[in-house]
A and B are shown apart, each in its own frame.
Chain A
């Protein structure tokens, strides 16, 4: 029994091939799916079929995805449905508008199938309060060195401005992340493709959560995932604290495929 079994997903996408393939993707992962090709029939299906979540394109004929969001959020029976936007529109305005109208998640095309699965699974977490107190979320992609370093630098600024962490703790956290990224990029390039590892740092009122995701190809050997797990948890050298100890917690695998999570409470909380 998997977490997503029996979860009903309505896919509203006007491109028949994409709609059919997304439904098939979800079917093989245990979801129950239904597809519609425009906003108007999609709204009707949402009202009648009562899905747990919607995968919603924005550019739809007759009634667009923004309007679908707006109408569903205004109807009490539908206001709790999870809405994942899947759109070719990557502009800031579209994202802001979608979130203002009630979207929960937003993925741009091209999307990796694993991203869709991950976002759908994460939609289930919101209602139980796990997002309460979330101040900031920053995703870092383990790509080339300078790009990765730049993203970690941005995280440093977030930690300084939004957490009670001491400067020395922030410096250590970021040094650890840089070391891990360097190790993956320099020593595991054969198993771990650049861009296949994502680290999401979520800053809450009382804690910092590190979420590591690996999007390696499904049929690849497990070498990549093993390298990622090792990099984030192994003992470094004798007498030195491990990566986990330096980050102030322990990584645990979650129900999501290829995901590790470490939560570190703030001392002052």
Chain B
């Protein structure tokens, strides 16, 4: 399944937005900063072929697939941005995978710290997805709002995307 209208310029906007919020003080790790610097001259194919860009498994159903980029954030290096195909325009959706399921049980000595980390990651993930939506980039939330807006003419669900 293709990624529809996901093009190099869209990828650049989405990645830069992620990086800006994930590293608010501008201290982006060297390899990631280089990745961002190289975006300007890259085609979409070149961006998706870069080191650190994963290809997500496509099931036989074709229902999933797409790519994930491990961009990290200022306190946790494993947070990812994902792009997945979608059956309706624009043909793709962006999302954040906090990627912090560390398998720690409540009796683990670091349980509380891990919960704090996850809460912080989630809050950042929401901010990134909200910013994408503000910039007109497709997110799961935006698609749901659009569906509800279409299903309920006169509703204002579509206004927030």
Task: Answer yes or no: do A and B interact.
Answer: yes
Our pick among B87, B98, B145 for the contact of A195 (Cβ within 8 Å) is B87
- Cβ of B151 and Cβ of A15 under 8 Å apart? no
Interface residue A132 (Cβ < 8 Å from any Cβ of B): no
Chain B residues, Cβ within 8 Å of A91: 57
Stretch at the interface among B10-18, B27-35, B37-45, B118-126: B118-126
Interface residue A112 (Cβ < 8 Å from any Cβ of B): yes
Interface residue B110 (Cβ < 8 Å from any Cβ of A): no
- Nearest Cβ in chain B — how far from A87, in angstroms? 10
Interface residue A127 (Cβ < 8 Å from any Cβ of B): no
Nearest residue, chain A, Cβ from B126: A15
Indicate whether A22 sits within 8 Å of B144 (C-beta atoms), given known contacts A90-B57, A110-B93, A110-B95.
yes
Interface residue B36 (Cβ < 8 Å from any Cβ of A): no
- Nearest Cβ in chain A — how far from B122, in angstroms? 7
Scoring B residues 82 to 100 as 1 if CB is less than 8 Å from chain A, else 0, what string do you get? Answer: 1011111000010101100
- Cβ of B87 and Cβ of A112 under 8 Å apart? yes
Our pick among A24, A28, A108, A193 for the contact of B63 (Cβ within 8 Å) is A108
- Cβ of B61 and Cβ of A140 under 8 Å apart? yes
Nearest residue, chain A, Cβ from B91: A195
Report the count of interface residues on B (CB-CB < 8 A): 36
- Cβ of A108 and Cβ of B82 under 8 Å apart? no
Interface residue B60 (Cβ < 8 Å from any Cβ of A): yes
Our pick among A59, A140, A141, A215 for the contact of B1 (Cβ within 8 Å) is A141
- Nearest Cβ in chain A — how far from B9, in angstroms? 21
Indicate whether A25 sits within 8 Å of B1 (C-beta atoms), given known contacts A112-B87, A141-B62.
no
Q: How far is the CA of A143 from the CA of B4 in the complex (A)?
A: 12
Chain B residues, Cβ within 8 Å of A110: 84, 86, 93, 95, 140, 143
Q: How far is the CA of A88 from the CA of B83 in the complex (A)?
A: 11
Chain B residues, Cβ within 8 Å of A24: 148, 157
Q: How far is the CA of A89 from the CA of B56 in the complex (A)?
A: 10
Binding site secondary structure of chain B:
mixed
The B-contacting residues of A in range 133-190, CB under 8 angstroms, are 138-141, 143, 147, 151, 154
- Cβ of A62 and Cβ of B115 under 8 Å apart? yes
Chain B residues, Cβ within 8 Å of A108: 63-64, 84
Interface residue B113 (Cβ < 8 Å from any Cβ of A): no
- Nearest Cβ in chain A — how far from B48, in angstroms? 17
- Nearest Cβ in chain B — how far from A84, in angstroms? 15
Our pick among B57, B87, B144 for the contact of A21 (Cβ within 8 Å) is B144
Scoring B residues 57 to 71 as 1 if CB is less than 8 Å from chain A, else 0, what string do you get? Answer: 101111110000000
Interface residue B147 (Cβ < 8 Å from any Cβ of A): yes
- Cβ of B140 and Cβ of A111 under 8 Å apart? yes
- Nearest Cβ in chain A — how far from B24, in angstroms? 21
Could you write out 14 A-B pairs with CB less than 8 Å apart?
A14-B122, A18-B144, A28-B152, A59-B98, A61-B118, A90-B84, A91-B57, A109-B95, A112-B87, A141-B62, A193-B88, A196-B88, A198-B61, A215-B87
Report A's interface with B, CB cutoff 8 A: 14-15, 17-18, 21-22, 24-25, 28, 59, 61-62, 64, 88-92, 108-113, 138-141, 143, 147, 151, 154, 193, 195-196, 198, 215, 217-219
Q: A110-B86, A112-B87 are in contact. List 18 more A-B contacts (CB 8 A).
A: A18-B141, A24-B157, A61-B122, A88-B95, A89-B97, A91-B57, A92-B57, A109-B84, A109-B93, A109-B95, A110-B95, A111-B140, A112-B147, A139-B63, A217-B88, A218-B147, A218-B151, A219-B150
